[in-house]
C-alpha cells in the first residue's frame, strides 16, 4: 500500500504585498529564504505562490504553521523551469517521520491569486517501520 499525502493552498498576492509593506524586511526574511528572495526579487506574485507552496507542504506534512518555520520549506526553480520543494530543519524531520521521500509541486498565479498543490509519496520501507 502506498502512502499519499496532499496539500493545497490559495493566497491573495495583494494581502502578501500589504504584509510586506506593513511589516517590512523582517517579515520577508522570516517568510522566504535568501535563495527565494534572490530568485523572485520584488515580484509579489512569485513570492505569494511560494507562500502558498509552503502552506500546502505544511498541510501534506500534517502539522500546523506554528510547528514549522516558513524558511524550513522553500521553492527552488530547476534548470528546466519546474518548481522544486526543498526541506530543512523541522520540515525535513517531519517528512522523515512520515517516510515522505517523493514530492511534486505545481504553482500558478493569475489576477492576484496564487495557488500551490503539493503531492508527497512515502517510501514503503520507511513508512512500514513506523
Q: Tens of pLDDT along 72-117?
A: 999 999 999 999 999 999 999 999 999 999 999 999 999 999 999 9
Per-residue confidence band for 128, with pLDDT thresholds at 50, 70 and 90: low
Residue with cell 500551490: 116
- Please check whether residue 107 is in contact with residue 45, taking contact to mean a CB–CB distance below 8 angstroms: no
Per-residue confidence band for 2, with pLDDT thresholds at 50, 70 and 90: confident
- Please check whether residue 86 is in contact with residue 76, taking contact to mean a CB–CB distance below 8 angstroms: yes
Q: What is the DSSP letter of 81?
A: S
4-129, which class in CATH?
Answer: alpha beta
pLDDT score, position 129: 56
Judge whether residue 130 has pLDDT over 60.
Answer: no
Q: Which residues contact 27 (CB under 8 A, 6 or more apart)?
A: 19, 20
Closest CA to 83 of 118, 58, 112: 118
Grouping H, G, I as helix, E, B as strand and the rest as coil, residue 93 is helix
pLDDT score, position 65: 82
Q: Which residue has the higher pLDDT, 121 or 124?
A: 121
Per-residue confidence band for 1, with pLDDT thresholds at 50, 70 and 90: low
Judge whether residue 124 has pLDDT over 80.
Answer: no
pLDDT 10s digits, 34-82: 999 999 999 999 999 999 999 999 999 999 888 999 999 999 999 999 9
Closest CA to 124 of 8, 2, 30: 2
**Average pLDDT score over residue span 21-40:** 96
- Strands 113-122 and 83-87, sheet pairing: unpaired
Amino acid at each position: 500500500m502506498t502512502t499519499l499525502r496532499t496539500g493545497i493552498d490559495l493566497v491573495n498576492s495583494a494581502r502578501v504585498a500589504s504584509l510586506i509593506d506593513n511589516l517590512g524586511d523582517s517579515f520577508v526574511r522570516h517568510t522566504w529564504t535568501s535563495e527565494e528572495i534572490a530568485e523572485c526579487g520584488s515580484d509579489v506574485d512569485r513570492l505569494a505562490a511560494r507562500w502558498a507552496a509552503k502552506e500546502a507542504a505544511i498541510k501534506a506534512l500534517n502539522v500546523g504553521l506554528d510547528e514549522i518555520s516558513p524558511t524550513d520549506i522553500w521553492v527552488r526553480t530547476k534548470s528546466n523551469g519546474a518548481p522544486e520543494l526543498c526541506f530543512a530543519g523541522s520540515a525535513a524531520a517531519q517528512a522523515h517521520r512520515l517516510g515522505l521521500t517523493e514530492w511534486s509541486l505545481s504553482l500558478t498565479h493569475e489576477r492576484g491569486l496564487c495557488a500551490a498543490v503539493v503531492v508527497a509519496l512515502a517510501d514503503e520501507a520507511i513508512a512500514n517501520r513506523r
